[in-house]
Amino acid sequence: MAMCVASPVSINSLSPVRLLSSVLQSNTKRSFFISFKTLRISISSSSSSSNQRSAFTAAASMAYARELDVAKKAASLAARLCQTVQKALLQSDVQSKSDKSPVTVADYGSQAVVSLVLQRELPFGSFSLVAEEDSGDLRKSESQETLKRITELVNDTLSSDATYSKSPLSEDDVLAAIDTGKSEGGPHGRHWVLDPIDGTKGFVRGDQYAIALALLDEGRVVLGVLACPNLPLAPIGHPHQDSVQTQVGCLFSARIGAGTDMQLLHGSSPMKVHVSTIENPAEASFFESFEAAHSLHGLSSSIAKKLGVQAPPVRIDSQAKYGALARGDGAIYLRFAHQGYREKIWDHAAGFIVVTEAGGVVADAAGNALDFSKGRYLDLEKGIVVTNQKLMPSLLNAVRDAVREESESASSL
Ligand SMILES: Nc1ncnc2c1ncn2[C@@H]1O[C@H](COP(=O)(O)O)[C@@H](OP(=O)(O)O)[C@H]1O
Ligand SMILES: [Mg+2]
């Protein structure tokens, strides 16, 4: 470990991610050694007092800890609201199931709850939220009943938490909370990134969906939470594995340098999770979207075949796939959207850090890291692939060959 004289880094004037980046950039010449994975910092310079050293270590190891706690609370409350709506939806008759309004109510309600909890619990500094919904349609006169229902649900959900005052929010408060989600994000400052219901198709079917919340700081994802109300605690995607574990509803949370935790959505202590260590593709199973319209199932199948994967695909909705992969249920997630579709940051930011902090790798089809600093969209080289470090090189080779074959056969038509 190279050590030399410390150069000044002001802890107070930098956000944790800038502080760590600035130290890492100067790491070869200066006195700090940082393992980004563990955020353990040692300082050898005799000029640094032990007080400074321990303050620095404490600041770095606790970076974003408060924000993560609040994010977990926000996503859990939003999940409670979504569960209420999904339960009513699944009990309703066929006619109202084809009506889109329950999804609308849950989507807006979830976004309002998350925005309100973040703002109430983290009142200092500016607030920026990049989120899927805005209130444009809700402000139309024909949406009055829907807005009333959303406002009731938001008030019921917040008042279920003892720390919130019982004074009810008005419809205007709820509209304003939804509209905080209009931020464009970008490479500077802090931005929360929210998908209030990821996997709306799964939500309507009664299958998987997730409330996905992440925080960007200076363009990097520094924490993420995935609330997956319908994800079993027992592993999924292992057809021959019987489990006595029947509990459902998982909360994944990850913070930069601190690993990934999973706990029951409505209670239980967090436990660390890790991606699968499988190195032999023949033993791996892979996830993809349930919806063929969201991902090219044919291309995934050709990639899996080239790689030597034998198991059939496990198809589930939403970023629950990232959560399941982070705890080792499957080893690979393949997502190749149809031509022209632009991936949004809220569909991947939380899942990205949940997987990377569990030891996995998330890349585009060319092996590039995903860049969340470009605004509301990801700029991608065709597709997103997720797996463990060992399998990634051979997976990228299989992707390259399958994509080339696909374009050759398209051009020969
Ligand atoms: N044509 C398309 N191609 C790829 N993704 C799409 C798509 N249409 C919608 N999506 C995205 O796919 C997400 C669901 O992911 P998955 O396919 O993994 O379940 C949707 O999130 P929402 O449900 O929040 O709209 C939506 O953002
Ligand atoms: Mg989504």
DSSP string computed for 209-250? -EEEEEEEETTEEEEEEEEEEEEESS--S-TT---S---EEE
Over range 171-200, report the average pLDDT. Answer: 97
Which residues does 224 contact at the CB level (< 8 Å), separation at least 6?
71, 212, 213, 214, 215, 252, 253, 254, 349, 350, 351, 352, 353, 354
Cα(291) to centroid(ligand 2), Å: 12
Cα(358) to centroid(ligand 2), Å: 22
ipTM above 0.90, yes or no: yes
Residue 174 CA to residue 179 CA, distance in Å, equals 9
Whole-number average pLDDT of the chain = 86
pLDDT of residue 96: 55
Q: 104, 157, 180, 200: which one is catalytic?
A: 200
SS3 percent helix, strand, coil of the chain, rounded to 5, is 40, 20, 40
Cα(36) to centroid(ligand 2), Å: 29
Q: Name the least confident of 162-166, 168-172, 261-265.
A: 162-166
- The question of whether 207 is a catalytic residue gets the answer no
- The question of whether 38 is a catalytic residue gets the answer no
CA-closest residue to ligand 1 atom 14:
199
Q: Which ligand is nearest to the CA of 344?
A: 1
CA-closest residue to ligand 1 atom 5:
294
Q: Which atom of ligand 1 is nearest to the CA of 196?
A: 24
For residue range 211-251, list pLDDT tens digits in order: 999 999 999 999 999 999 999 999 997 655 566 678 999 99
Cα(86) to centroid(ligand 1), Å: 19
For the beta carbon of residue 238, count every other beta carbon within 10 angstroms.
14
For residue range 375-395, list pLDDT tens digits in order: 999 988 889 999 999 999 999
Residue 359 CA to residue 259 CA, distance in Å, equals 8
Judge if the beta carbon of residue 292 lies within 6 A of ligand 1: no
| 123 pLDDT above the threshold of 80 | yes
| 23 pLDDT above the threshold of 50 | no
